[in-house]
Structures are given as C-alpha cells and as structure tokens.
Structure 1
Amino acid sequence: MTKVAQRLGRQQWFAAVGRKLVPADLAVQRRTGGRIGLARLGGLSAMVLTTTGRRSGLPREVPLLYVPHGDDYLVIGSNWGQAAHPAWSANLLAHPDAEVDVISRRVPVRARLLTGDERERLWHEVVLPFWPAYEDYERRAGGRELRVFLLSPH
C-alpha cells in the first residue's frame, strides 16, 4: 500500500483532493484515536499536531504525515505544494512548544526548524524516501523551500 500511496502522492490532483479532505481526516483521527486516517490507510505514519495560534493564542489541530527519527518526529510544511507556508508552521515558529497525538498517545514536543546542511541531509536521507511527493510539492510551491521541523519530546 505504501508504494501505491507514494506514487499517487506525486500526482497534482492528489494534492488538490487531499487539501479538501483535511477536515474529514482530522475528525476521523480524533474519533478513532489516530488508529484510522487517510495516511495510515496508505501505510504511512500520521499524527495530529496541536500548535498554539500565533495571533489567537488558541489551540490549532492539523493532521500531518511524520517521519520517525529516533525518539523525534520530522514534519514538513508542504501545504500540499501551495505558494504559502502552512499556518501550523508559522505557529511553531512563534510558539515552538506543541503536542502530538500519535495513535492515542499525546506527547508534548518542542519544535526546531531545520536549516542548512542538517535540513539538506535529513531531506535526502530520511524525508524524500518516506514521501517522494515532497519533491513535487516543493517544485509546485514556486521556489518556496518547504520548512522541515524536528519535534522532540520533552
């Protein structure tokens, strides 16, 4: 299933449909404690990330793919290849303390934006093999470098 999902993920129509399914995916993950979700159906690692809104100060939830990296989690601000960075990534820049829900396990985390050589190394060694579509999303984003965050439990 994972290989099929990875192939589909590279199609432009997939991103358009995926954006529209985010609210339903969030509701399903919340209701099932993360056991069922669109990404998980494709054999991928998925979480619900809760950030603090940078302007409102209110909790904001978003379902995301993540790449396990030791005890940490890598998340990518692809915004499905749109020109703007996703709101959750700006929230993490303003308020790096957040929470992840991974299969009914809530974990407080601190986010760190990866840059330079560290970002490049993890991008090529870990991120792209997990979800090759990120390369397509970055190209479609019109030159915007996708933000890569390391979420470390604390």
Structure 2
Amino acid sequence: MSQEQKQGGRKKGSPSALSLWFQRKMNARTTGKVRRKGGKYLGMDLLILHTTGRRSGVARETPITWFADDDGWLVVASGGGKRDPDWYVNLMAHPEQAAVEVHGSPAVPVTPHRLAGDDHAQAWQHITGQQPRYAKYQQKSAREYPVVRLARK
C-alpha cells in the first residue's frame, strides 16, 4: 500500500480537507475585512488575488500581502515555508485568468511573472527592506520563495 493510499488519497504533507475548508473560511473573512477597510488589515497592505482553481476550475479569492513595484505589484509565495501556497499554484496554472483588487477598487486583470536571477534578487531586497520578517521566514526554509510581479494587462 502506497503512502498516498494510507492517507486516503492525499500526498504526504498535503493539507487535509478540514484545513482547506478552514483556510477558505479565513480567506473569505479576511477578504471581507480588506474590502471594508480599503486594503489595510493587521497593519499590512493586502490585495485580493483572483485566481482559478487548477483542478476544480472554481474562482478563488485570496488576500495576500503586496509590495509596490513600478510595473505592478510584488507578491511572495511563502506558503508557510514548506510548500507553494495554493494561490500560487493556481495562478501559475491559469495565469490568463488572474486579477487583483486593491483598496476596494474593481478587479484589474493582471499578467503574473515569476521573477528569477537579478530581478528576483532586486525584488527580494525591496521586499525585505519593507518587511524584514520575510528574510527571517526565508532563513527557516530550504526552498527559495517565489516572487511574482503582477503587471496590469
């Protein structure tokens, strides 16, 4: 019997149905607060990222921290350090369907660009200059956090 069969069809380390349900409830709650408060929540600037589920095809809305960039918005796919967050995997699977809401404005279609090399390094320096906790999070993880630029279409 494989490890996946032992866990009821889930891969080792993947979230349970209960944790996914809880995460979606918390995302919906936080999304409502972000819309009411104009993008500020717990002292952070949040945007609402619109993606489409990579397997389900269901529209998803995820509140995430963003950082200003000349070409759009920068977001970090930290996912708690262990794995890519669902929003990131969905975004990369269906980049043509991505949009963002910022400060209560209507959703704006965006094109995601995963940064690499010097672009990643420069963006990472900008991000950690504004939020040093990201550098601390990165030090605790074996994987390099993806940084994505969300550029207006």
The structure whose Rg is larger is 2
Q: How many residues align?
A: 130
More helix, by proportion = 1
Q: Give ranges in structure 2 of 5+ residues lacking alignment.
A: 1-21
Q: Secondary structure at the match of 2:37?
A: coil
Q: Give ranges in structure 1 of 5+ residues lacking alignment.
A: 1-19
What's the counterpart of residue 33 of structure 1? 35
Letter in 1 for 2:29: A
Which stretches of structure 1, 4 residues or longer, exceed 3 Å deviation after superposition? 20-26
RMSD: 2.3
- The percent of aligned pairs where both chains have the same amino acid is 33
C-alpha distance 32-129 of structure 1, shift in aligned 2 (>3 A): closer
Letter in 1 for 2:145: L
What's the counterpart of residue 148 of structure 2? 149
Task: Tell me the TM-score normalised to structure 2 length.
Answer: 0.74
Q: Secondary structure at the match of 2:91?
A: helix
- Given that 1:107 and 1:153 are in contact with CA atoms closer than 8 Å, whether structure 2 keeps it comes out as yes
- Given that 1:65 and 1:75 are in contact with CA atoms closer than 8 Å, whether structure 2 keeps it comes out as yes
What's the counterpart of residue 110 of structure 2? 109
- Given that 1:28 and 1:36 are in contact with CA atoms closer than 8 Å, whether structure 2 keeps it comes out as no
What is the distance in 1 between the residues matched to 2:89 and 2:151? 18
Of structures 1 and 2, the one scoring higher in RCO (CA 8 A, sep 6+) is 1
Task: Tell me the TM-score normalised to structure 1 length.
Answer: 0.74
